[in-house]
Amino acid sequence: MNTIEKVDFAHVATEMGGITIKNLVTKDKFIDNDNKIKILTIGRENSSATKTILLIGETGSGKTTLLNAMINYLMGVQFEDNFRYSVKDEIGDDRQKKVTDSQTEFVTGYHIYYKPGMVHDYNYLIIDSPGLLDTRGKKIQDKIRKQAEFFLRKEELNITELHSLAFVINGTTNRYQQCVKDVITDFENLFGKDTDQITNILATHCDNMQSVQQVLKDVEIKYSKLYNFQNDCIFSKGQGMLDSPWLAQVAPLKWECLMKKYQEFFEDLNVTTPVSLLLSREAAVEKKELEGAVIQIKNNIEHKINTVIEYESQRKLYEEYKTCMKNNKTFEGTETVSVKEKASIEGTFTHAHNCKKCNRTCVFPCYTGGIIVLCLTFYGKCEVCQCSLWDDHEREGKRIVEKLKTRSVTHKEMKKRYEDAMRRFNDTEAVKTELKKQIDEASVEVAKMTQKITDHINVINRIIRNPKPKTPTEYFNDILKGIEETMTPKLTNSTDKAFLSQTLEDLRIK
């Protein structure tokens, strides 16, 4: 490796084991604290072409060390130099973090600007994501995936193409391979099928490449090339080996071998035809709309179930009250009621449109962004509740949800309710007619949203690279399974549980 001059960037120097660590000074180019993404710059902005790399890896795979090794290679650092470059670990050592600390983790892009003396005359944007597959579980993994997705589709960042989708794999890992497969599948699904050609595997801590190749075969990932990086020598000059001439000779050889591996990777990268992120962004939009459709269909299914359970509870209550009256006994009972509450909106959705008259959420999620004029310039009646869109609806940062609760009913209260019911309805058939109307409305919404979900899934499956995507039927049945797992523990009455199970079974696509 030949360089005309030694390159240097602004840094803060510290000593470590006999060498100087030059901690590079970075500047904030973009920070989004809400979505936990940032871009930091190293050097002065210029017009050189930028090559973009996305690093994805499990906790303990050595992404941070790999990132630093890449920087030292690009800066032209030699083994005999008495310094090494380093960047502050913006993500942190996941193994030392507590669960509560995970909320502070960012997907961080390091934009390294070319300066004379560097090995290649390109700028490089290296995007580092928090570690995956640790004890924090699937929920955190989903959060990190959404952060990376948001990073890549954020228009203000002007990242239009990707040169390397790099999965960092610890060659000594003994993790259950299904977990590794889950991570790769999760992140593969962020991208279009055209990213197969830029997918690279960066193996670390690996002496036996056959074991890594077997893991890759088992998880069925499509990739272009496999690279092996033994980064343990990056911050070493052979210290502690002076009493062993053989080890002292090995250290510079290991360094030279490692730098040749990075030379191979970056030379391949520099001639790679980049992949546009347009397909990935189209998939991201479809996924966001799919997520919204899933929320809506779950709400309508739960509303349908809640309505029937509440009616059945009240019907039973009236029968018990009539029996008590007939036997001249004091009535005491309980009922299941559906209660509406306002819940905070989570995720990437900004607001909902709630009807003040009906006390229900009619539009959620709304995709028009933060400018109210864009989503409230329509007039006329709401398709959901038939109230005025302009006069009766409010744009809010919360949505209205339904919950089933059990409450006690006294004899005095029941007597008043029974008498009121007899005045309002000539017979129980009128009550059933009103109930059927509500159930039918929910059923129509479920049918409409089922078609929307099917359309979104078909588009996503056409775009993403996952070779075994879910079918609309599998997806919808998974939604029903999730509803059952969520609602069943909340029901104390065995009859209600049986009804819930039967209703979901009837909805299930065979």
- Per-residue pLDDT at 103: 38
In what side-by-side order are the strands of the sheet with 352-355? 360-363, 352-355, 393-396
Rounded Cα distance between 310 and 302, Å, is: 12
111: phi then psi, degrees, rounded to nearest 5: -95, 105
Tell me how far apart the alpha carbons of residues 144 and 137 are, in angstroms, rounded to a whole number.
Answer: 11
pLDDT digits (tens, 9 = 90+) for 6-36: 677 888 988 887 789 999 999 999 998 877 8
DSSP 3-state percent helix, strand, coil across the chain (nearest 5): 45, 20, 30
| Inter-CA distances, 44 with 25, 74, 127, 156, 161, Å | 12, 15, 18, 20, 22
Domain boundaries 11-276, CATH class: alpha beta
- pLDDT lower than 70: segments of the chain: 1-6, 89-104, 132-138, 173-180, 182, 238-248, 347-350, 367-379, 423-443, 466-468, 509-510
Helices (runs of H) and strands (runs of E) counted in the chain? 11, 18
Angle between helix 278-326 and 494-507 (nearest 10): 140
Please give the pLDDT value at position 72.
95
Residue 386 Ramachandran class (φ > 0 left, ψ -120 to 50 alpha, else beta): left
Q: Which two tokens stand for residue 8?
A: 């240097």
- The full set of domain ranges for the chain reads 11-276, 283-345+397-507
> Which pair of tokens denotes residue 229?
């990086």
Beta bridge partners of 486: none
Burial of 223 (0-12, 13-18, 19+ CB in 10 A): middle
Q: State residue 74's pLDDT score.
A: 96
Q: Which residues contact 199 (CB under 8 A, 6 or more apart)?
A: 164, 165, 166, 167, 221, 222, 223, 224
For residues 298 and 81, what is the distance between their CA atoms, to the nearest angstrom? Answer: 61
Task: State how far the Cα of 277 lies from the Cα of 152, in Å rounded to an integer.
Answer: 8
pLDDT of res. 510: 62
Give the whole-angstrom CA distance, residue 122 versus residue 493: 67
What residues contact 416, with CB distance under 8 A and at least 6 apart?
A: none
| Residues 335, 313: Cα–Cα separation, whole Å | 6
- Angle between the 278-326 and 472-487 helix axes, to the nearest 10 degrees? 40
Helix (H) or strand (E) holding 188: helix 177-188
Q: Mapping DSSP to helix (H, G, I), strand (E, B) and coil, where does residue 14 land?
A: strand
Q: Which amino acid is at 222?
A: K
- Predicted confidence at residue 360, as pLDDT, reads 86
Phi-psi region of 198 (alpha: psi -120 to 50; beta: other; left: phi over 0): alpha
- Rounded Cα–Cα distance for residues 213 and 379 (Å): 60
Instruction: Supply the pLDDT for residue 371.
Output: 39
